[in-house]
Amino acid sequence: MTDTDHAAFGREWTRFASWLLAHSSCDHAALRGPAGREGLDELESRLGFPLHPELTALLELHDGTTDAGAVPAPRAVRPAGSFLPLQHRLCGAADIATMYEVLVEVGEDFVHTESPDDDEDSDDDEDLAARLHLCVPFALPDDGGFALVDHRPGPTYGHVYELGIGSGDLDGTLWATSLTALFRALSDAVETGTPFLHYWPTTTKDESGRAHLEWQIQP
């Protein structure tokens, strides 16, 4: 990532984080401090390949969010920090390493159970489920699944997908072509009240008056 690319990522993340601070401060407060160099090195060692520069930049800003439920909230309100669509929350370096191992197992199960007929119709270079060992999860929802960054060299390098493993969805949904593009789109959505894909941003207040960012699914 060039200095220009790094600046673009920082600008879009700052837009989104600034909106959280102004309109959903409990979500902003759930952001952890930066990941240390030792933690990032350990993560890359466990992955066996370098992190995408944008994901490195995100972790250098925030080592994920506090664990779900760590910030008290009324029962009707989702845990603070689950501010991405489908209530995904950012993961820290240690959690990413653990969830990557789960992701690899899911991919191996897919490859081993795929029938010969399926092999004729699929291309491992295009099939997301067949290349999960080259994807890195960076956010998790509460119901099983991953938001991940594609690390396969080639045209999809850096693409952001949502994989709903809890619902059996291994095809994945493209959220954005990069983390920079993702946070640009999310910032545009929350600033203008327009949808990101088919997720509409809203704010919900709990009984103490604290606002939480929600993403409502519209058909």
What pLDDT does 166 receive?
61
What pLDDT does 124 receive?
42
CB 63 within 8 A of CB 92: yes
What pLDDT does 179 receive?
97
Cα–Cα distance for residue pair 65/217, rounded to 1 Å: 23
What pLDDT does 126 receive?
60
- Provide the pLDDT confidence category of residue 171 given band limits of 50, 70 and 90: confident
- Provide the pLDDT confidence category of residue 122 given band limits of 50, 70 and 90: very low
How many other C-beta atoms are found inside a 10 Å radius of the C-beta of residue 96?
29
Amino acid letter, residue 3: D
Q: Is 192 helix (H, G, I), strand (E, B) or coil?
A: helix
What pLDDT does 114 receive?
62
How would DSSP label each residue in 125-177? TT-GGGGGGGEEEEEE-SSS-EEEEE-SSSTTTT-EEEE-GGGT--S-EEEES
Taking only the tens place, the pLDDT of each residue in 45-93 is 999 999 999 999 999 999 999 975 455 554 445 788 999 999 999 999 9
Question: What is the mean predicted confidence (pLDDT) over 108-137?
Answer: 69
Question: Which among 129, 137, 128 is positioned nearest to 55, based on CA atoms?
Answer: 137
What pLDDT does 148 receive?
96
Taking only the tens place, the pLDDT of each residue in 9-37 is 999 999 999 999 999 998 999 999 999 99
CB 35 within 8 A of CB 93: yes
